[in-house]
Amino acid sequence: MASFDGFEYEVVVVGSGAGGGMAAHILTEAGAKVLMLEAGRDYDPYEETPMFNTNDEAPLRGVSTSDKNFGYYDATVDGGWQVPGEPYTTAEGTEFLWWRARMLGGRTNHFGRITPRFNARDFKPFSQDGMGTDWPLDYEEVGPWYDQCEKLIGVSGANVGNEDIPDSAEGVLQPPAAPRVYEILCEVAAKKLGIPLIPMRRAVLTRAIDEREACFNATECGRGCSIGAAFQTTTSLLPWANKTGNLKIVTDAMVKEVHLNDEGMASGVTFVNRKNKEDVRVDASVVILAASACETARLMLNSKSEMFPTGIANSSGQVGRNLMDSTGSDISGYIPALRGRPKYNEDGLAGNHIFIPWWDYEGQDNGTLKFKRGYHFEFGGGFGAPGMGIADGVDGYGKSAKEAVRFNYGSNFYMALRGEMVENENCYCEIDDKVKDKWGIPVLKFHWKWSQQEIDQAEHGMEWGGKIIEAMGGVVTSPKRTGEEAILAGGQIIHEVGTTRMGDDPKTSVTNKWGQTWDVKNLYVMDGSVFVSNPHKNCTLTILTLAMKNATYLAQQLNGDVS
């Protein structure tokens, strides 16, 4: 046992988001004493969530700014694409964006709560198409943990027997939300085209559980959720861990280095107290890194020693390599059939109620498609809160302009492609030895290049997005673009993974299938950096699930139940 400010603990967890929050919950329930270090500020979602504020109460009517990238009311109260005093750099020719949330709960306060499972093919991509790398585990091993995780955090959806999104066990899922009018139109169009459209899996409660209430369609989930209906660690995992009496949380603690003892074991970490800029050393029996894929890689690469001159647990040279993000591109249109309809509350669960999963595995397998990895379509429209762009395309002024806005309101429709990229040697992060942040910590330098696989995938998606809008009786308003023109920048979808990937071979991976680093047995990684591939499905559910599985294994070790 080590101590900090009078608190006795044996495990230090770096990060309070999906991986760190789940690890803390599992370990504290098992009796372990845990110290959690969060780089960002404290955050109270019960007091700070603007659930009922309207855009007219916000500066610039709540639109996005350089300080609030997703709008004034977004729950990321400290962080964004750029964090003052904490730069990152990019190599020549690289376009990469790095989103950071400097707050308790990390990105779970902000994310879209879309939670599809990976399927059997997703865990064995190389075996399917000869590209990328297989995971050291398979769906049969992870499936039961998905059930436990979904039940715990609360996932709404439905079992429909779709190949892309595996069914959950009976009784795991909460009921899905009913589709909206524009979603029903899209469903009809998809059926015409022979492609599936199924209920969205969302980490949003449609039935109350424990102290968390069911969603009552108040405002966007991205604002945070003071009733606990939309999953975030600050209203679930962290309060639960606190109730055990086994957790101490220290915020404004920017961890800069993991230390080794003479036996080559992790002995603790040093963090910068962001309030007074002092360095603080804490000892630990076990260190868990869950700071997000890029931040964890940065911390490991900066933790150099005689034993690990290129960074702790980096004998493979894979720390920082294999960086992946979801592909992204968007297409918009308007649907004449939706114009002039009666106005009513169509908010729903503040996101998709149904979506289009990947449907053409056959084309990938028989070679009729030009790319090997799939995508899905998310979409939106309807009667959202009017914003500053509601009058786009309206001619004139006065009464006629107002009538045109009212008539067209709710007829716009957009589709967002989110797809899988294949790992490639051009995508990685390293330490920039010429630049430090305001805490004196060397920063990351990013290298990024989409392969032709992703470009061809985006082009296919834009073609099919147009077909779907037209099958709805709509008109595409986005300009026609090539895949290279349509694909968004690396990092822009905020699904970075892969920088400390797991594997069976210490020469080509950083951790084993439990997230335990090969080189330092008491150093674990429990965030998206352990991913081996990045399926088109949003990664948070799998981060949570693997952290649950791996923290349970660690708890058994600490209790002497396994060797």
Torsion angle, CA of 526/529/535/537, rounded to 10 degrees?
60
Tell me what pLDDT residue 109 has.
93
Which pLDDT score, from 0 to 100, does residue 517 have?
98
Query: Phi and psi at residue 36, in whole multiples of 5°?
Result: -105, 130
Higher pLDDT, 138 or 561: 138
**Phi, psi at 550, each rounded to 5°:** -75, -35
Task: Work out the average pLDDT over 197-226.
Answer: 93
DSSP at 534: B
Tokens (6 digits) for 8: 């006795």
Burial 132-163 (b: 16+ CB within 10 A, else e): bbbbbbebeebbebbbebbbbbbbbbbeeebe
- The helix/strand/coil state of 544 is helix
Which residue matches tokens 């429209």? 381
pLDDT digits (tens, 9 = 90+) for 347-363: 888 889 999 999 999 99
pTM for the predicted model, two decimal places: 0.97
* pLDDT class of 117 with cuts at 50, 70, 90: very high
The pLDDT tens digits of the residues spanning 406-448 come to 888 999 999 999 999 999 999 999 999 999 999 999 999 999 9
| Residue 394 confidence (pLDDT) above 80 | no
Write down the pLDDT at residue 402.
87
In the sheet that holds 442-447, the strands lie side by side as 89-90, 442-447, 428-436
What distances in angstroms separate CA 504 from CA 277, 319, 499, 511, 512, one per listed residue? 41, 16, 16, 8, 6
- Both structure tokens of 264: 């080559």
Residue 108: what pLDDT?
97
Candidates 68, 59, 8; CA nearest to 34 is 8
- In contact, 514 and 288? CB cutoff 8 Å: no
Residue 161 predicted with pLDDT over 70: yes
Angle at CA 52, nearest 5°, toward 50 and 55?
Answer: 85
pLDDT at residue 563 is higher than 80:
no
Q: What is the mean pLDDT of residues 286-315?
A: 98
More confident residue, 186 or 66: 186
Residue type, position 279, single letter: D
Q: List residues bridging with 269 in a β-sheet.
A: 258, 282
First to last CA, the chain: 19
- What is residue 455's predicted lDDT score, i.e. its pLDDT? 98
- pLDDT for res 220: 85
**pLDDT for 400:** 86
Contact 426, 332 (CB under 8 A): no
The Cα–Cα gap between 547 and 430 comes to 25
Q: Which residue has the tokens 């800069």?
A: 256
- Residue 395 pLDDT more than 80? no
What is the predicted pLDDT for the residue at 436?
98
CA dihedral 526, 529, 534, 535 (to 10 degrees): 10
Question: Looking at residue 51, what is its pLDDT?
Answer: 85
In the block, which residue shows the tokens 């968390």?
212
Which residue(s) pair with 56 in the sheet? none
Average confidence score pLDDT of the chain: 95
In this structure, what token pair is assigned to residue 112?
């879209």
Tell me the C-alpha distance between 420 and 324, whole Å: 9
Confidence of residue 561 (pLDDT cuts 50, 70, 90): confident
Mean pLDDT along residues 137-160: 98
**What pLDDT, on the 0 to 100 scale, is given for residue 15?**
98
- Asked whether the predicted pLDDT for residue 497 surpasses 80, the reply is yes
User: Please, which contacts does 303-308 make with residues 24 or more away whose CB atoms are closer than 8 Å?
Assistant: 303/257, 303/258, 303/259, 305/260, 307/260, 307/264, 308/260, 308/519
Taking residues 145-166, report their average pLDDT: 98
pLDDT at residue number 63:
87
Structural domains of the chain sorted by starting position, each given as residue range(s) with its CATH number in brackets: 1-57+74-132+227-326+426-450+497-563 (3.50.50.60), 158-199+327-419+451-486 (3.30.410)
- Residue 517, C-beta contacts closer than 8 angstroms, at least 6 positions apart: 312, 313, 500, 510, 511, 523, 524, 525
Q: Which residues fall within 8 angstroms of residue 53, CB to CB, at 6 or more apart?
A: 73, 219
CB atoms within 10 A of CB 273: 14
